[in-house]
Structure 1
Amino acid sequence: MFGLFILLNLILFLRPGEIVPGLRAAPLYQVTILACLVGVSSTLPQLLSGQFLRQNPVSACVTAVLVAAPLSFLGQGLGQLFYFGQLAFEDFGKTYLYFLVATAVLTSAERIERMLVWLALMIGVVAALSLAHDRGLLVIPELAAIERSELDESGQKLTFTQLRGTGIFNDPNDLAMVLTVGFVVAVHTMSSPWAGAARPIAIAVAALCVFGIFETKSRGGALGFLAAGWVMVYARWGMSKAVLAAAGMAPVALAIFAMREGGGSVTEGTALHRIQLWSEGLKYLKWNPLFGVGYDRFAAEIGLVAHNSFVHCFTELGFFGGAFFLGAFVAAGIGLRRVWQHGNDYLPPANRARIATVAACLVGYTTAMLTLSRGYVVPTYLILALAARTAAIEQESLHEEGVQVDLPQFDGAFLWTLAKASFAFLLAIYLFAFMITRLVM
């Protein structure tokens, strides 16, 4: 079953139909995920049971987002509720099924470890294909770089290109986000005692990912890379070194907004435009506070996506759905933090390294999502499944050592924490957007 899940991800990441034209019309992903669902069908009732959802708040929150998607049309009238609600349920339902399969398959530390290795290989191939096409070593039409223009400080139009990947990573920002994950898991592989002959491959993958992130010229992706790097430094050398690393990264973070030849700061160009979109999203949330403007309706209402996954989901799904989307990340982060803290003196180095690696992937991916609208895509839920299952597996390992770790439960206390986190997030976004807007007026 694990091999079939790896095949599913290979198809998802590499999109064989884009590389081999003869496979373009073949429903490879659909057939493979149906086979995966058949393979895990015996465990699905358990994953959907009330007891499992109470004990696994990440799964409970993702399930609540599935419910929130059709409910987001409640304020649009019964006709739209039944028609568009059904379409929303079916659309997000495909992603939800992937999340269920990932949760059912990633059931042991060994499988998590193997998944990390496969992720490094798959993302390395994505990076290699993109860079090879960009350098003219092979030709894949779908990988043609995006050419964009921005104005410099003098008002001159400057043009630059951005690297793209296969399939769901065809947008440079998506590619940069997944390359951050690839770098983290490649570093994990190369530093593992068992790496052996695989170490040179892991080093090559890490190098490809770093170079690829640079070539995407994605500011959000670069910020995610820095955030993931900080977590890796903290996990390996502690808080004092992490503080020094943060001080060293600060100038780099400021320079990120000038990565593109025409961009100077957060108050200029596309960065300012995205912040203005956040403000627009909050206005629509104020008008539709409970259930939002409707699943996948942000662009239709405002003209563009929010370029912030959390603002996007709050606007489309209302406070109900947006809070649960945010809650999945809150629960995943709390779970990893608790097993890391309790396991520092009891877990073997390999276990601690795995927790740190998954945490770095989660933090880097989440940071990039603050500038991208990727609330409903499969890779987001792969990261959540990895984080949730890693925390649960390490909790069991600590229990065997006689150490009791209380992971978050989907109960009243968690819902109260989630409500506070949601209000704090929305307030922070509002104040940030307000201050930046005032700076340029």
Structure 2
Amino acid sequence: MSSSSQGEVVYTPQREARSAFPMAAILLVLGVGVLLPMALARGLTTNSELKVVALELCLLGTLAVLLQPFWGLVLVVGLLYVRPEESIAALAGMRFTLLVSLVALASVLAHLFLSREKLVRTPFNVMLLGFAATAILSTVPNWNMAEAVLEISKLVILVLLVLNLVRTPQRYRAFVTTLLVFTAYLALYSIYLYFTGGAMQQGELARSQATGIFSDPNDLAATVAAGLALALVRARNARGLMRLVYLLLAGSQVWAVVLTYSRSGLLSLLLVICGFLICSMRRKAISTVLAVGLGILLFVVAPSRMTDFDRSEASANQRFWLWSDGLQQLYGRPLTGIGYGQFPEINGGWTAHNSFVLCFTELGLPGYFFWMGCLYYCFKRRVPKATPEEESEEEKRDLVGARLALSGFLFSGFWLSRTYVPVLYLLMCLPVAAQIAARGRPGPQQVKGAEWLRDCGRIGLISLGSILLIQLMTDFLK
């Protein structure tokens, strides 16, 4: 096997110790025999049958996670996409996602300890921990550290779960399948709501929505467009009937995005489809022409609201003024920022409408550096002089799909404030996990010495360059 390049951490899992299963089995027996009856008895005193059922299912899920941590990750993704606590009033405040995440993390650590394996370590992890520390410390002057610790720790746990559970090609495919299933749910459910009177009414315009954070059509469009990239790559890799299934799924996702009437969603849709055409075809000139032609066609047939990018329009003009205010706050507090969650406090309840602006305004240059570092390691891939034979074409396309999905979400995120949204961090994990799964080797490898300094220099330049670009856009468009 060819030697790994610097900056790329890959891992080959060992066999689990045999003692892990008996312990998990004992926990399962104790749970079913003791904890379930106790939970049932407690639940019957709450006068809410739905809560009783939810508690029982949560406990059963917890026990299953102890047996197989990967199912914990699947359950966490499902909870993030379905949002039962936000869509069912009786379940509000039950924090299922946090509970399952903590149990899954504990199960992962226990399984790794019993099998004598180590946590996956990558430069991405370093940047994420730096981002988390900066976000939490930024709250010290504003006395809202508890909220920051809770929300940021969810993101860190989510990343740790993905990178330590998705270590093999089989696990990576299962993880992508999980994302596809729940993205399909969002797309189909939003279409169903649209045609059954559950759409969001904005004046005379009806816009499709789902539940929870996905009741915002822009969030829905960004997430579904990211899922489209994964569906297109699956269709490219599949054969026969399964290819048709994935193409039908892709079609439903395009339809769902169009029904949101989201302009940022349309831009993400164009990026994903055109990027897929260019990356998947060998003749780049032909693929580029097709991509441009398809982009023009989508603009022609899309609803008029989605193609109206008039900068004098009220919402667009206000967005640029918010960007300008964020830049002024950055220039006033470049090292500390104004603090996590404080942008709406100084802008009359309005957020930045730009994930990048929100990050550097609230966390300052250090926090923005670490956040951009996470993105840098999602797209950086040190390719050896000779491409390893063991890396198949399918695995290469999987990596392209992962990066396209993240790019599509980020493209929407440039017009929305989604710096701390869990879906973004799920998508950030995809390219890193794809490389770990496709090119697994024993033992971690870190970026060291001069290479680390070069990476930090590049991240710094990219960070400053993006701020300059936003400044130029703001000056021209507001």
Say whether 1:65 aligns with 2:99.
Answer: no
**RMSD value over aligned CA atoms?**
3.2
Give distance in 2, aligned partners of 1:263 and 1:408.
Answer: 48
The corresponding residue for 1:148 is 202
Deviates more, 1:425-434 or 1:116-125: 116-125
Q: Contact 1:73–1:291 (CA<8 Å) still a contact in 2?
A: no
Alignment correspondent of 2:365: 319
Query: Which moved further from structure 2: 405-414 or 215-224?
Result: 405-414
Counterpart position of 1:205: 249
Match of 2:461 among 405, 420, 434: 420
Distance verdict in 2 for CA 1:285–1:342, change over 3 Å = farther
Paired residues for 1:171-210 under 5 Å: 171-193=216-238, 197-210=241-254
Equivalent residue letter for 1:146? M
Mapping 1:291-310, distance limit 5 Å: 291-303=336-348, 304-310=350-356
Worse overlay, 1-10 or 317-326? 1-10
TM (normalized to structure 2)? 0.76
Is the Cα–Cα contact under 8 Å of residues 58 and 327 in structure 1 kept in the other structure? Answer: yes
* In structure 2, distance between residues paired with 1:344 and 1:436: 47
Is 1:87 equivalent to 2:128 in the alignment?
no
The higher-RCO structure (CA 8 Å, 6+ apart) is: 2
Note if contact 1:163-1:172 (Cα within 8 Å) is conserved in structure 2: yes
DSSP-derived class of the 1:147 partner: strand
Residue equivalent to 2:107? 39
The Cα of 1:188 is off from its aligned counterpart by 2.3
SS of the residue 2:378 aligns to:
helix
What is the Cα deviation at residue 12 of structure 1?
1.6
* SS in structure 2 at match of 1:40: helix
Residue aligned with 2:353, SS: coil
Q: Structure 1 CA distance, aligned partners of 2:384 and 2:358?
A: 31
Amino acid at match of 1:334: K
- The amino acid across from 1:113 in the alignment is R
Secondary structure of 1:292's counterpart equals coil
Contact 1:339 1:395 in 2 (8 A): no
Asked if structure 2 preserves the Cα contact closer than 8 Å seen for 1:339 and 1:391, the reply is no
Q: Partner letter of residue 285 of structure 1?
A: L
Aligned pairs for 1:213-224 within 5 A: 213-224=257-268
Structure 1 distance, partners of 2:432, 2:105, is 20
| TM-score after normalising by structure 1 | 0.81
1:388 aligns with 2:441: no
2:224 touches 2:256 (CA, 8 Å); kept in 1? yes
Deviations 1:11-59 (A, max 9, x none): 22112456666655654323321221111124889xxxx9965xx2222
Alpha-carbon separation, structure 2, partners of 1:36 and 1:7: 9
Give the direction of change, closer, same or farther, for the CA distance of 1:435–1:345 in structure 2 (3 Å limit): farther
Partner of 1:152: none
User: Is 1:14 the counterpart of 2:59 in the alignment?
Assistant: no
Number of aligned residues: 401
Q: Residue 181 of structure 2 aligns with which residue?
A: 121
2:393 is aligned with what amino acid? P
Partner of 2:273: 229
Q: Residues 167 and 73 from structure 1, CA distance in 2 versus in 1: closer, same or farther, beyond 3 angstroms?
A: closer
Q: Structure 1 residues 86, 25: CA separation in 2 closer, same or farther (over 3 Å shift)?
A: closer
Contact preservation (8 Å) 2:112, 2:119: no
Query: Whole-Å Cα distance in 2 between the matches of residues 312 and 118 of structure 1?
Result: 30
Query: Which whole-Å CA distance do the structure 1 matches of 2:411 and 2:132 have between them?
Result: 23
Determine if contact 2:120/2:163 at 8 Å carries over to the other structure: no
Aligned-partner residue type, residue 419 of structure 1 = G
Question: Rg: which structure is higher?
Answer: 2
- Once the two structures are superposed, what CA deviation does each residue of 1:144-202 show, in whole Å capped at 9, x if it has no partner? 422224xxxxxxxxx31221122232211110011112212222223323x55544432
> Contact 1:308–1:373 at 8 Å: present in 2 too?
yes
What is the distance in 1 between the residues matched to 2:322 and 2:289? 34
Identity %: 24
Matches within 5 A, 1:252-331: 259-260=304-305, 263-303=308-348, 304-331=350-377
- Is 288-297 or 409-418 further displaced after alignment? 409-418
Relative to structure 1, is the Cα distance of residues 51 and 91 closer, same or farther in structure 2, using a 3 angstrom cutoff? closer
**In the TM superposition, what is the alpha-carbon distance from 1:281 to its structure 2 partner?**
0.8
Between stretches 199-208 and 374-383, larger displacement belongs to 199-208
